[in-house]
Structure 1
């Protein structure tokens, strides 16, 4: 009994510390966003475009504590007329408790220009996720650190020279269940996800501004079961460029397929 109480107290302490960190981080991000909005409201050089993304996400539970994460997607722009980039990503996650998860992984991306891949990226990353539930609302905080390594591609071959920089990401989402789609299957639900994610560049070789990107997300989602969901997401995306006082805005149509598997071994009697 003493051991159980000790473990519960430790987990509660961890949760309180993490919530404190995220609360302070949210305040900092909020102030940063306000300052950015004020500064960017004075910027006139903004190019406007549109993008289309298709993405598949998979979570496979390996046990009570471990989960394998994998996702991949492709992106177009100008109404599917031009290829933009591809991305593949994988990670191993560990649940400190059901509401607190840490992960580490690796991503690979390719960037298109004039119909050809002109740059690739290799991206190790680490992240922390904390979840809360307030009545029927699911809250999700995610902070991710990325080590981005870029290589130019010339005539289909990756060149030796590279550019490196860090990028920090903070995302907050809230999931609001609206109504059930089936009386027999209570897991078949229609919900809407709202969120925002900010990207911040850091590094001596950073050719971009400190502010890299902000994504405002509105995402109607159909849960066919507790293991399969499809979202048709509108992403209002504002990004910096390598040119001073120049920014990009894009309306992004983002189709997301989210799939969960469970291969945990059953307990032996």
Structure 2
């Protein structure tokens, strides 16, 4: 069964990547290169038997640290089917900094989401797979003001992450390689069914049995709604992870 799931996950990743070139336009491709930094705290807290609460906070900056990109908070209720598999549903809110020079008003994005997460191993390599579905309502901004209209999209995300020990000493960092593909659908999604791809390589370090972090380089390649404009972001990423429990033993 585990081998079957691994094969299916690789096939899904292969076929999803086929969407990237489906929206090609006649206009010449325009790529905006920029540097970013991305920080977050991600928590999972057991609250009762098989139930847990997920919560995370994110800050992303442009020009490495100089300018804001977005602020994001998210929370969900999760049900642990077994120690390796859980399902969750929740809500997130994003404040997006204006990308147009001279604008000062942040736009808002509301989203609800559902996800399935599965962890497994191949030898000493730990694998994490996550399938997430998001319904997003993004404010449309005109002349630095909210237009009163929202853009709705349904986005599907598939993450495959591998943690690879490189030292015999368990207190030393492990290597992390991950890729997450995002595709989206909706009435206004005409030219960019492919939304973005996020590739990450870095290290994971355990601080104690509940707290860890990963740090490294992330490449974010995102297609804009025009279909021929892209953002290529070279990103420094630092994510913290905390696993807690309110359950009495």
| CA–CA distance in structure 2, aligned partners of residues 196 and 124 of structure 1 | 22
Higher helix share: 1
* Larger radius of gyration between Structure 1 and Structure 2: 1
Pair 1:233-2:207 in alignment: no
Work out whether residues 102 and 128 of structure 1, in 8 Å CA contact, stay in contact via their aligned partners in 2.
yes
Cross-structure match for 1:84: 69
1:1-269 to 2 correspondences below 5 Å = 16=1, 20=4, 23-33=7-17, 36=20, 44-113=29-98, 114=102, 116-152=104-140, 160-179=148-167, 188-206=171-189, 209-266=192-249
| CA–CA distance in structure 1, aligned partners of residues 142 and 185 of structure 2 | 27
**Offset of 1:202 from its aligned partner?**
0.7
Deviates further, 228-237 or 111-120: 111-120
Deviates further, 234-243 or 150-159: 150-159
**Offset of 1:31 from its aligned partner?**
3.4
**Offset of 1:160 from its aligned partner?**
3.9
| CA–CA distance in structure 1, aligned partners of residues 199 and 21 of structure 2 | 13
What's the RMSD between the two structures over aligned residues? 2.8
- Ranked by relative contact order (alpha carbons within 8 Å, sequence separation 6 or more), the top structure is 2
**Offset of 1:108 from its aligned partner?**
0.3
| CA–CA distance in structure 2, aligned partners of residues 134 and 166 of structure 1 | 33
| CA–CA distance in structure 2, aligned partners of residues 158 and 47 of structure 1 | 25
Where structure 2 has 5 or more consecutive residues not aligned to the other structure, the ranges are: none
Where structure 1 has 5 or more consecutive residues not aligned to the other structure, the ranges are: 1-15
So what's the TM-score if we normalise by structure 2? 0.87
Three-state SS of the structure 1 residue aligned to 2:183 is strand
